[in-house]
Chain A
Amino acid sequence: MQRKRWMFALLAILPTLAIFAYVRIYPIGDTLRLSLHKWDILSKNKPFIGLANFEELTGDPLFREALLNTTIIAFGVLLITIPLALVLAALIYHRTRSRFAGFYETAIFIPHVVSLVPAAMAWKWIFDSRLGPLNALLTTFGFAPKAWLFDPVLSVVCIIVLCSWQALGYAVMIYLVGFKSLPTSLYEAAKLDGASAPQSFWYLSIPLLKPITLYVSVVTLVSGFNVYAQAFVLASDAQGAPGRQVRVLVLDMLENSFRNYRVGYAASEAVVLLAIVLVLTLIQFRLLREKGGR
């Protein structure tokens, strides 16, 4: 009987495990292995070169640019999204019983769900230097129009705006779950003590929601470090005029692998990306544990 159950469990889980090993564990291991090898796709042999790929990365100007841009984008999105999401979620939670609550949730969430490329297309039009409403608006107020998608600084700003617009809905949704789980008795007590709504938001909600803030921050940062489609779409102006490609990590990685045929080198970039994500996750766990210990 016990044996039969064990057999069933094993047989049932085996296919998933096999798939999982093949499409997750093996390629992750392969990334780590390739990062220590030199492989140019065409040649049969992949000589082991130790940490040479990583040494080269530290002096590679394109990689440095990619890392810097990606970091700016990830933290830019974080700084816009988290405070805005917290306030919006608080306001929506406050108006839960309003008949518009469903509309609020849906409208803020829609940018997060719609396909990336069509949504990015909408922003491309907004930012377009000749046809876009943003420049038209600037001109009506007497400002000079700007080449949003060409300027090296502004094009990064455009990506941050687009990514924040998409990330906001997710953050608001998670915060709303958080607000719903807060103990109402605390707020009633605060109200009896004469605390105003902004005061209880500042002194109660924000500290109580700290674990959620931590979680949403890490998720936002990690997806910020993986930014690619947004940079890809915004990189060209209307009518196909080549805009300025904002170099991000994933783009640099794919270019090294499929344009320069340097798979080993690209793998070492992937390992750097992995290291960033691991560090962020570890920081999250460490901070959470600190809070639990107190």
Chain B
Amino acid sequence: MKPLSENTASRGMSMRTKERLINIMIDVVLTATCLLMILPLVFLVSNAFKTPQEMLAWPPTVIPDDPTVANFKAVLGDTPLLRWIGNSILFSVLSTFCILATSSISGYILGKFRYRAFNVFFAIILATAIVPFEVYMIPLYFQAKALGILNSTWGLLLGYLVMSFGIFLIRQNVIQSIPDELLEAARIDGAGEFWIFWRIVLPLLRGALGALGVLAFFQAWTAFAWPLIVATTRDSYTIEVGLALFQTGFTVDLGRLSAASALVLIPSITLFVLLRRNFVQGVASTGLKE
């Protein structure tokens, strides 16, 4: 009996080493893929610090031999880059605020006040959710023009005041995580409807609103087609549009472009890494639509 048990023991051992070997191989493959994914961005940031000569070096260096901030100085002198970043921040913050406000109120009402008329509204919201922004942005542009808010933050905001998915997400959350009994109890205690929303509902929605907020912020921050047609003066560009138009200039070299891009990338990547949990939760919830 003894040899047999020894035999199984060694087989179990080899199974475990085999499993471990496979895991190491998977780790290697994943690490390589991940590095490949972020490599373009790493090079972009590193190019920003390179001299024109080093830019041409092959193979490209990851850490510049002779780092310089000349590209950053040149770009900040050439363009109102900081102003564009400011425009983008203002637009994104206001858009996030509007989307959170409209989504939380209407999501709560649609989730807890089951009147027949509201179901129609909700169906319309869901139906329009599948229509891409690009389909109706031209008529919306003429509405902004009629309001006289082209080339301003308000014009940008017009396209990003509401988010169908946000209303949907908050409604789901209200239905799942806020019991009717809680609201009824508050009403019996004499609480007003607005007080209930402000003091009971909103705090319970904090997680969902955090996820939605991050989603809304990045949506506005990365918007392109709408800002391109609405904000057409140099002073009103968002950073995305400013950069895209700047790079079509004839005197622009890659060093400066990289410097400008790096200035935009570094804060947004930092923000993402800090808010990663919220973000992943928000994006993951977009997949649960069905």
Residues of A with Cβ closer than 8 Å to B?
A: 4-6, 8-9, 12-13, 15-17, 19-20, 22-28, 30-31, 34, 88, 91-92, 94-95, 98, 100, 103-111, 113-119, 121-126, 128, 131, 133, 136, 140, 165, 168-170, 173-174, 176-178, 197, 211-212, 215-216, 222, 225-226, 228-229, 232-233, 236, 238-240, 250, 253-254, 257-258, 263, 266-267, 270-271, 273-274, 277-278, 281, 288
Contacts and interface: CB of A to CB of B under 8 A. Distances in A.
B162 interface: yes
Nearest to A94: B26
A232 B286 CA distance: 27
B290 interface: yes
Contact of B138 (A26, A109, A114, A267): A267
Contact of A136 (B34, B58, B258): B58
Contacts of B273: 106
A23 B159 contact: yes
A267 B31 CA distance: 46
Interface stretch (B63-71, B123-131, B172-180, B202-210): B123-131
Contacts of A281: 130
A157 B115 CA distance: 51
B134 A240 contact: no
Contact of A92 (B30, B108, B247, B272): B30
Given A12-B197, A131-B254, A278-B130, A24 B162 contact: yes
A277 B138 contact: no
Nearest to B45: A122
Nearest to B285: A177
Interface string B247-290: 11111111001101110110011001100100110011011111
Contacts, number: 278
A229 B245 CA distance: 11
A236 to B, nearest CB: 5
B23 to A, nearest CB: 7
Interface string B25-55: 0110111011101101101100100000001
Given A108-B34, A122-B258, A176-B284, 5 more contacts: A23-B159, A100-B30, A118-B260, A121-B258, A239-B250
B272 A34 contact: no
A19 B106 CA distance: 12
> What are the 8 A-B residue pairs with the smallest beta carbon separation, nearest first?
A118-B261, A107-B34, A30-B139, A240-B250, A27-B136, A122-B44, A122-B40, A229-B224
Interface of B: 22-23, 26-27, 29-31, 33-35, 37-38, 40-41, 43-44, 47, 55-56, 58-60, 102, 105-106, 108-110, 113, 115, 118, 121, 124-125, 128, 130-140, 142-143, 158-159, 161-162, 164, 167, 193-194, 197, 218, 221-222, 224-225, 228-229, 239-241, 243-244, 247-254, 257-258, 260-262, 264-265, 268-269, 272-273, 276, 279-280, 283-284, 286-290
A106 B134 CA distance: 29
A118 B121 contact: no
B131 A128 contact: no
Contact of B128 (A19, A28, A118): A28
Given A88-B33, A117-B261, A270 B135 contact: yes
A288 B289 CA distance: 13
Given A8-B193, A110-B41, A98 B23 contact: yes
A22 B138 contact: no
A178 B105 CA distance: 30
Given A121-B243, A229-B224, A258-B229, A215 B34 contact: no
B43 A125 contact: yes
Contact of B135 (A19, A28, A216): A28
Contacts of B229: 254, 258
B200 to A, nearest CB: 14
A52 to B, nearest CB: 18
Contacts of A238: 253-254
Nearest to B143: A27
A91 B105 CA distance: 41
B105 A12 contact: yes
Contact of A173 (B105, B108, B253, B280): B280
A240 B249 contact: yes
Most chain B beta-carbon contacts within 10 A, residue among A15, A16, A128, A197? A16
B170 to A, nearest CB: 11
23 contacts: A6-B115, A12-B106, A13-B121, A22-B143, A23-B159, A25-B128, A91-B30, A100-B31, A110-B38, A114-B269, A115-B239, A117-B244, A118-B260, A118-B265, A121-B243, A125-B44, A133-B43, A133-B60, A236-B248, A238-B253, A240-B250, A253-B138, A257-B138
Given A173-B280, A211-B290, A254-B225, A119 B41 contact: yes
A4 to B, nearest CB: 8
Contacts of A197: 22
Contacts of B161: 19, 23
B134 A9 contact: no
A117 B265 CA distance: 10
Given A95-B23, A174-B287, A211-B290, A236 B247 contact: yes
